């Protein structure tokens, strides 16, 4: 399966989830993204994934991603990259071992793809 095929399938499944599909960027999130720029938002996403999702053991797993306060947090809930259990269920990456650099880059790419789609839909 190609990346495009996987993303198409993933985003269709996320869109069919009553919980995941209710997340959208609000105007203040969009303004923040425009103020900071997508490169900075990507760096924030990389930092959040590295610190909150990549470790093999996360003491507060399932509670480490706030529901608001940053566009990346909203995107993480929308894309099921918010905790290791959601990552296991939706992205087939098993918990209990540290995420590889490739896995971290994949999760960041999923988050940024969702954010870019939200920005496009807001126009």
With a cut of 90, say whether residue 8 has pLDDT above it: yes
Q: Where are the domains of the chain?
A: 3-122
Which of 59-63, 92-96, 104-108, 119-123 reaches the highest mean pLDDT? Answer: 104-108
- The pLDDT assigned to 93 comes to 95
Which of 53, 47, 98, 93 has the alpha carbon at shortest distance from 77? 53
Contact 109, 115 (CB under 8 A): no
Label residue 88 by pLDDT band (50, 70, 90): very high
Q: Do the Cβ atoms of 7 and 113 come closer than 8 Å?
A: yes
HEC string of 47-74 equals HHHHHHHCCCCCCCCCCCCCCCCCHHHH
pLDDT tens-digit series, residues 29-47: 999 999 999 999 999 999 9
List, for residues 98-112, the tens digit of each pLDDT value.
Answer: 999 999 999 999 999
- Cβ–Cβ < 8 Å for 120, 114: no
**Torsion angle of C-alpha atoms 25, 100, 64, 45, degrees rounded to 10:** -30
Please report which confidence band the pLDDT of residue 94 belongs to, taking 50, 70 and 90 as the band edges: very high
* Tally of helices (H runs) and strands (E runs) in the chain: 6, 0
* pLDDT tens, residue by residue, 47-82: 999 999 999 999 888 888 988 899 999 999 999 999
């Amino acid at each position: 399966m190609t990346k495009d095929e996987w993303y198409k399938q993933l985003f269709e499944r996320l869109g069919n989830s009553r919980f995941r599909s209710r997340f959208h960027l609000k105007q203040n999130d969009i303004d923040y993204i425009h103020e900071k720029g997508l490169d900075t938002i990507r760096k924030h996403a990389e930092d959040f994934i590295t610190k909150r999702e990549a470790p093999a053991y996360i003491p507060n797993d399932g509670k480490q991603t706030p529901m608001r306060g940053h566009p990346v947090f909203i995107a993480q809930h929308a894309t099921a990259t918010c905790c290791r259990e959601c990552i296991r269920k939706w992205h087939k990456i098993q918990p209990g071992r540290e995420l590889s650099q490739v896995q971290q880059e994949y999760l960041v790419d999923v988050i940024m793809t969702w954010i870019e789609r939200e920005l496009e839909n807001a126009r």
